[in-house]
Chain A
Amino acid sequence: MPNMQVASGPARMARPGWFSNPIGLLATALLIGVGFLVLYPVFLLIERVIANPGEDGLGIDASIWGTLLNTFLIVGGSSILALAFGSLLAIINERTDGSIRGLGTFMPVAPLMLPSITGVLGWVVLFDPRVGMVNVILRDVFGFAAGSGEGPINVYSWGGMLLAYTVHLVPAIYLIIAAALRSLDPSVEEASRIFGAGPIRTWWRVTLPAIRPALFEAWLLSVINAIAMFAVPVILGTGAGVEVISVSIWTYLTQYPPNQQAAIVLAGGMLAVVLLLRGIQWRLVPSGRQAVIGGRGVRGTMASLGALRHVARAIVIGYILISLVLPLIGLFIVSLEPFWTANVPWERLSFSNYTRILTQNPTTIRALVNSLILAAMGATIFMAVAAFLRLYARQSTGQTGKGLFSRSFDGIVDFVTSMPATLPHSMVGVAFILAFSRWPLDLYGTIWILLLAHAVMELPYASASAKSAASFIGRELAESSRIFRASEGTTMWRILVPLALPGLAAGWVLVFIKILGEVTASAILAGTSNPVVGSVLLDLWLQGNFPMMTAFALIIWVITSVLVILVLWLNNRNLARAR
């Protein structure tokens, strides 16, 4: 196994501590800055709650146990389903001839680009038990449950919620696993195949174990993602009578008068769960023991699936149909209607909603421009910071052997960047108003307050993608660079960054899309002076203007899809050139 190494023991070269060089200082300063940005607003919120305690206890009643159980079942179930399915898609696309040329790498992430409320509404349009288009067709054309006027599929149910959660989680998992596979040296798999193992056995016994850290990271990220998910439970959960924590917290924060105390307690509980999982990750998945990119250039070959190829393609196509194409068709029809109705008024369909958005409504255009600027700027800055911290941690970890600080810089980065993971976005919104609408930083009503809030909200995603990207770079590379007397900066810029780039680009896309689609905090922090896509979508929804909202969402989807395809294409081309 020439290119696979298992973690090296104590490093061979004694080096000064991480705090005594400029790169180290910069890393420390960044980490402190990030920590401040997360903690300062939350402390202000907690201080306010302590200063004004509620009159009669917390205001949390026994129904919270049911809510916690619901959250546990849905988050647990959907994250595991999504991990399995996301990994399967990644393997199909990265390692087999079952991928669909050209579409393969882009399509699994495409559903992410439908801003979250709209994605859910796409499903409602399709699977509402009475007026959902799929249900109407199943009843009228295929005779399922004919005459009952209802069913056979009910999206407002446990099954509907699980499926919606899973579909929303798959793209992020796919991005991380696919990047890991792309970075993984395929010679090991080839060796396995040479020794007679079939492709499935090889993936199960060799490939998946080799990317175990990425698998765990992706799962943890989807747990975080699922805990925070808001649009699915608030729309589907209300109809299904299933309440989850994110909605409870939102209710506590936005009811009048707000119960910030209860919200903070619940958010604290969620944070404890995520930190616990991080602890398990540190113990069970030591980041050193994994397959890494070796120093030599390699190129993977695609496994031939034979007849199974058609099954693989069917899986990919089925996923794309359910998660993207069908909702898009449903939403597109609605966007042409004067109002949402199942009895499509074919003769009255028109593009007037689109013209109104693009030519008459000044807010929608401003929101779109603001959001694109925010998302591009945010994704670039946050990924740069996360990549720097992760690569620095990767490079320095283990160097000094016994040095406690050095050993755990990665751990500190983990801790700091995980902190905001379960901060509900509604709470971020409220805390940021408190923190940044007065001296010394009076940013309220500008897009900068949104940028800072996004920094906090997207930090876990940026950091996790960067960690996954960094973990595939063999330490031997940084060490060889040092042997040739390259400085820390040179090592990082010339050696580590280029190697981590595929993973970092995946992270960039993820953060870009999440910023663009964020609704809950945006609704609190954005106003008429700083409209963004999320807040305007919500406004249109609240004004009861569903067709105009879907038209706007589809415009956003087209623009972001083009941008993301471009980034992924550039990235793949660079990668191909590098190999």
Chain B
Amino acid sequence: MKRPITALGGLPSDRAAGFGRRDLMRAAGLAALLGASGGLGLGLPAAAQDEALIAAAQEEGHVMLYTASEESIIAALSAAMSDKYGITLEYQRLNSRDVAGRYSAEAEAGKTVADVILTGDPILIDDFSAKGWIAPIDASQIPGFDAWPAEFKNDHSVIVSINPQTVAINTDNLKAPITSWQDLLRPDLKGQIVTVDLKRVGLVAFAAYDLMLKTYGEEFLTKLGQQDPRLFDSGPSAIQQLASGAAAAYFPASTTQSQSMIDMGAPVQAIIPEGEPYTGVMSPVAISANAPSPNAARLFVSFVMSEEGQKILNEHTASPNNTPGTGELKPGFVPPDMESSAANKDKIIQLMGL
């Protein structure tokens, strides 16, 4: 499979070493400075630019979002858009592979329904962009774009959320705490781990396995496979199984996935072992080339980059520009390496014995 390689703003995607919140903050500050000197494309004062965009967006009245993010989060964004601008945010919430399938099927049929797409696979958006389905974006169109950290944006998309991949545990079933990734290989977890069937899911799920492969070697995955993990067709199935008490651990579980069960009162916790490298899902937002409501789309993108939008979107996950009031990105975060995940996909499936 050919995927155009577009590192987002020179993100060190193949660097195995972790980087933490401090690095992100430095980068954010730097980008803010650059942004301030860059000026605004329309030559208008920022406030006037905002006003013009809001007016044009309100004229359109609504915006359609395709997303793989948690429903409750998107519902909150929708409510905020409505309160603040009187614009209806409609959304189609699907899992990441179905977002890809639906969006591309519509694009190929020449039918653009989604104004905005927000999903967990940056390479997918690059691929769509290469096919001409995604509109270019720049500071002249989108308030707040300039100030966004450079490594979390490019000419057609903005990464707005970092969702760490954790091991979710059932606190009723887990006998001893998990303090390292090696703990997943403990004898007491044999047959007690659930995971997604890697033959069935999109590339997004592979980044965590890819990191394990590169950090702990092939043996780790072979032994993980020998733990007889029980397979499920999708992340939601797996997390339900964990919450229901059918297992003790689910790896890799995204933070929002675990949170959705915690919010319902399930005995679930999301664990990132202290001092160990971990990765996550970075979600870009992008605007369709033929968006029916282009201004409302730009306003939405601008809104999710704003402090208010980030607080809603990243209540439990990490904000790329480190907005106060968002979830913390613990030390040890390694950006997901999608190229390497794609290259190692078959190897990972084979090592896990699937």
State the A residues within 8 Å of B (CB).
Answer: 48, 55, 128, 130-131, 156, 234-235, 238-239, 241, 243, 251, 253-258, 338-343, 348, 430, 433-434, 437-438, 444-445, 523-524, 527-528, 539, 541-546
A-contact bits for B242-264, CB 8 A (1 contact / 0 none): 01111100000000010011001
Given contacts A257-B1, A438-B110, A544-B240, A238 and B104 within 8 Å (CB-CB)? no
Tell me whether A339 and B243 are in contact (CB under 8 A): yes
Chain B residue nearest to A341 in the complex (CB): B244
Tell me whether B101 and A131 are in contact (CB under 8 A): no
Select which of B1, B124, B236, B266 is within 8 A of A541 by beta carbon. B236
Q: Is B202 located at the chain interface by the 8 A CB criterion?
A: yes
Tell me whether A542 and B109 are in contact (CB under 8 A): no
Given contacts A235-B233, A256-B124, A341-B244, A544 and B105 within 8 Å (CB-CB)? no
Tell me whether B105 and A238 are in contact (CB under 8 A): no
Tell me whether B105 and A256 are in contact (CB under 8 A): no
Tell me whether B94 and A539 are in contact (CB under 8 A): yes
**In terms of DSSP, what is the predominant structure of the interface of chain B?**
mixed
Q: Is B106 located at the chain interface by the 8 A CB criterion?
A: yes
Q: Is B64 located at the chain interface by the 8 A CB criterion?
A: yes
Select which of A254, A339, A433, A539 is within 8 A of B93 by beta carbon. A539
Q: Is B82 located at the chain interface by the 8 A CB criterion?
A: no
- Which residues of A lie under 8 Å from residue B105 when comparing CB positions? 430, 433, 524
Tell me whether A338 and B245 are in contact (CB under 8 A): no
Tell me whether A238 and B243 are in contact (CB under 8 A): no
Given contacts A254-B101, A445-B113, A527-B92, A239 and B244 within 8 Å (CB-CB)? no
Chain A residue nearest to B70 in the complex (CB): A543
Tell me whether B236 and A542 are in contact (CB under 8 A): yes
Tell me whether B265 and A338 are in contact (CB under 8 A): yes
A-contact bits for B100-134, CB 8 A (1 contact / 0 none): 11101110111101000000000010010000000
Given contacts A437-B110, A543-B236, A339 and B202 within 8 Å (CB-CB)? no
Select which of B102, B111, B199, B232 is within 8 A of A524 by beta carbon. B102
- Which residues of B lie under 8 Å from residue A544 when comparing CB positions? 236, 239-240, 257, 260-261
Q: Is B315 located at the chain interface by the 8 A CB criterion?
A: no
Tell me whether B244 and A256 are in contact (CB under 8 A): no
Q: Would you give the shortest CB distance from B210 to chain A, in whole angstroms? A: 18
Report the separation of the CA atoms of residues A539 and B108 in the bound assembly, to the nearest whole angstrom: 23
- Which residues of B lie under 8 Å from residue A257 when comparing CB positions? 1, 104, 127
- Which residues of B lie under 8 Å from residue A445 when comparing CB positions? 113
Tell me whether A438 and B111 are in contact (CB under 8 A): yes
Tell me whether A131 and B245 are in contact (CB under 8 A): yes
- Which residues of A lie under 8 Å from residue B182 when comparing CB positions? none
Tell me whether B101 and A339 are in contact (CB under 8 A): no
Within 8 A of A (CB), among B46-86: 64, 70-71
Q: Would you give the shortest CB distance from B128 to chain A, in whole angstroms? A: 10
Q: Is B290 located at the chain interface by the 8 A CB criterion?
A: no
- Which residues of B lie under 8 Å from residue A339 when comparing CB positions? 240, 243-244, 261, 264-266
Q: Is B19 located at the chain interface by the 8 A CB criterion?
A: no
Select which of A55, A131, A256 is within 8 A of B202 by beta carbon. A256
Q: Is B175 located at the chain interface by the 8 A CB criterion?
A: no
Chain A residue nearest to B74 in the complex (CB): A543
Given contacts A238-B231, A433-B106, A445-B113, A546 and B97 within 8 Å (CB-CB)? no
Select which of A55, A239, A543 is within 8 A of B71 by beta carbon. A543
Report the separation of the CA atoms of residues A444 and B91 in the bound assembly, to the nearest whole angstrom: 17
- Which residues of A lie under 8 Å from residue B257 when comparing CB positions? 544
Q: Which 4 A-B pairs have the closest CB atoms?
A: A256-B100, A339-B264, A544-B236, A437-B111
Q: Would you give the shortest CB distance from B93 to chain A, in whole angstroms? A: 6
Q: Is B339 located at the chain interface by the 8 A CB criterion?
A: no
- Which residues of B lie under 8 Å from residue A434 when comparing CB positions? 108-109
Tell me whether B200 and A238 are in contact (CB under 8 A): yes
Within 8 A of A (CB), among B1-49: 1-2
Tell me whether B92 and A342 are in contact (CB under 8 A): no
Tell me whether A130 and B243 are in contact (CB under 8 A): no
Tell me whether B111 and A433 are in contact (CB under 8 A): yes
- Which residues of B lie under 8 Å from residue A528 when comparing CB positions? 64, 90-92
Q: Is B328 located at the chain interface by the 8 A CB criterion?
A: no
- Which residues of A lie under 8 Å from residue B127 when comparing CB positions? 257
Q: Would you give the shortest CB distance from A435 to chain B, in whole angstroms? A: 9
Given contacts A128-B246, A130-B245, A444 and B111 within 8 Å (CB-CB)? yes
Task: Give 6 new A-B contacts, CB below 8 A, not counting A243-B199, A444-B113, A544-B240.
Answer: A254-B97, A258-B101, A340-B243, A544-B257, A544-B260, A545-B71
Chain A residue nearest to B91 in the complex (CB): A528
Report the separation of the CA atoms of residues A542 and B241 in the bound assembly, to the nearest whole angstrom: 13
- Which residues of A lie under 8 Å from residue B94 when comparing CB positions? 539, 542
Report the separation of the CA atoms of residues A243 and B199 in the bound assembly, to the nearest whole angstrom: 10
Report the separation of the CA atoms of residues A257 and B241 in the bound assembly, to the nearest whole angstrom: 29
Report the separation of the CA atoms of residues A434 and B110 in the bound assembly, to the nearest whole angstrom: 9
Tell me whether A340 and B240 are in contact (CB under 8 A): yes
Tell me whether A255 and B2 are in contact (CB under 8 A): no
Chain B residue nearest to A254 in the complex (CB): B101
Report the separation of the CA atoms of residues A55 and B2 in the bound assembly, to the nearest whole angstrom: 9
Report the separation of the CA atoms of residues A241 and B90 in the bound assembly, to the nearest whole angstrom: 38
Chain A residue nearest to B237 in the complex (CB): A235
Q: Is B197 located at the chain interface by the 8 A CB criterion?
A: yes
Q: Would you give the shortest CB distance from A362 to chain B, in whole angstroms? A: 11
Q: Is B230 located at the chain interface by the 8 A CB criterion?
A: yes
- Which residues of A lie under 8 Å from residue B264 when comparing CB positions? 338-339
- Which residues of A lie under 8 Å from residue B245 when comparing CB positions? 130-131, 341-343
- Which residues of A lie under 8 Å from residue B230 when comparing CB positions? 156, 239
Q: Which of B64, B90, B109 has the most CB of A within 10 A?
A: B109
Report the separation of the CA atoms of residues A207 and B161 in the bound assembly, to the nearest whole angstrom: 67
Q: Is B95 located at the chain interface by the 8 A CB criterion?
A: yes
Report the separation of the CA atoms of residues A130 and B104 in the bound assembly, to the nearest whole angstrom: 39
Q: Supply 18 A–B pairs (Cβ within 8 Å), ascending by A.
A: A128-B246, A130-B246, A241-B231, A251-B200, A253-B101, A256-B100, A256-B104, A338-B265, A343-B245, A348-B265, A430-B105, A437-B109, A437-B111, A438-B111, A445-B113, A527-B92, A528-B92, A545-B71
